[in-house]
Amino acid sequence: MTTTTAAKVDTGSDAVREALRQAVNRLDDTIRPVVSYHFGWCDEHGRPVRTNGGKSLRSRLVLHAARAVGGDDARALPGAAAVELVHNFSLVHDDLMDRDATRRHRPTVWAVWGDAVAVLAGDAMLSLAPEVLLESGSPQAVPAARMIGAATRELIRGQAADVGFEHRDNVTLAECVRMATGKTAALLAASASIGAVLSGAPPRSVTAMKHFGHHLGLAFQLVDDLLGIWGDPETTGKPVCSDLRSRKKSLPVVRTLEAGGPAGRELALLLAQPDALTEAQLRTAADLVDRGGGRRWARAEARRRITLAERSLAVVPMAETARRDLTDLANFIVERSA
């Protein structure tokens, strides 16, 4: 298997980073350092640092989609910055809701500044996204901003469903997939379609890119859920079995529970107990998801979604290099370890 590295799909990141800095510089003196910290540009005291700022998959997808339909980075750049702002708004709020104290091997925003500041920092990033798009002067800025708004609405719907699942024992796999469609796939679908829209692509190409991003998003969530159980803490920056520790209704867990059988029934009993799971019980739960088929199913479903994503591109005429950039990005998602 050919390994696709993050560096290989990192084209355009410097320009996106500069656009994000310009946007963040508009924020007030209280929130700007917090957002800069979250992006990895400074420490909690405002001193510049060099850290892992994340994968920037959504902004890369905007740029790659734009190039694929004959556009260029300059026209797509506002869209790339906008989707990163929306994504990072969701990360700050997600950390707060899940009480995750670390991200990218550093304390999260709420862990440093408290809940209220984390809410405001997330809101600030969200407010910048349409502003960046609408000020670009592009004749396609308004439809692109509508896409951002619709994707954000879907993202929030998915997040709300995810929170609601915490209080239910009977979540179905279909519900879980619908949750992931909003929580993760909606913004990736918007990222691909925004790149096409800002480049003036015809509706057929925009729709194809949307489908590409949708399947890519579901594959991303499936792999993310696998890493939430079996990921290496040194790589992911999160504790081992982090999703099981919080009893999250992730896709491989729900698949195992819905499949039933000895492993599914034992897992249901283990997750239903009122006390916090011990380290031994967490390892047992992970083994049950594995034995119950959840791990195997999630890996196969992620690859199936990547195949569907690549098929979506068949109707879009593009240079072979542009097609390869998009498929490299897709393969990176299923091969990633963080």
Token pair of 118, please? 């984390």
pLDDT above 90 (res 50) = no
- pLDDT bin (cut points 50, 70, 90) of residue 299 is very high
Predicted pLDDT at 1: 35
pLDDT above 60 (res 6) = no
Instruction: State the DSSP H helix or E strand holding residue 175, giving kind and residue range, or none if neither.
Output: helix 173-180
- pLDDT bin (cut points 50, 70, 90) of residue 337 is confident
Of 305 and 13, the structure prediction assigns the larger pLDDT to 305
Number of domains in the chain: 1
What are the distances in angstroms from CA 172 to CA 243, 259, 292? Answer: 17, 10, 16
Mean pLDDT of 67-76: 95
Mean pLDDT of 137-152: 96
Give yes or no for a contact between 69 and 19, defined as CB atoms under 8 angstroms apart.
no
**Does residue 314 fall inside a structural domain?**
yes
Mean pLDDT of 157-164: 96
**Does residue 3 fall inside a structural domain?**
no
- pLDDT bin (cut points 50, 70, 90) of residue 300 is very high
Predicted pLDDT at 215: 98
DSSP conformational letter for 238? S
- pLDDT bin (cut points 50, 70, 90) of residue 53 is low
Give yes or no for a contact between 93 and 124, defined as CB atoms under 8 angstroms apart.
no
Give yes or no for a contact between 38 and 117, defined as CB atoms under 8 angstroms apart.
no
**Does residue 1 fall inside a structural domain?**
no
The CATH number of the domain holding residue 247 is 1.10.600.10
pLDDT above 50 (res 7) = no
**Does residue 2 fall inside a structural domain?**
no
| Residues spanned by the domain of 208 | 9-336
Per-residue burial over 292-304, b if 16 or more Cβ lie within 10 Å, else e, is bbbbebbeebbee
**Does residue 332 fall inside a structural domain?**
yes
Predicted pLDDT at 240: 75
**Does residue 4 fall inside a structural domain?**
no
**Does residue 213 fall inside a structural domain?**
yes
Chain segment 209-228, per-residue pLDDT in tens: 999 999 999 999 999 999 99
**Does residue 268 fall inside a structural domain?**
yes
Give yes or no for a contact between 165 and 139, defined as CB atoms under 8 angstroms apart.
no
pLDDT above 60 (res 180) = yes
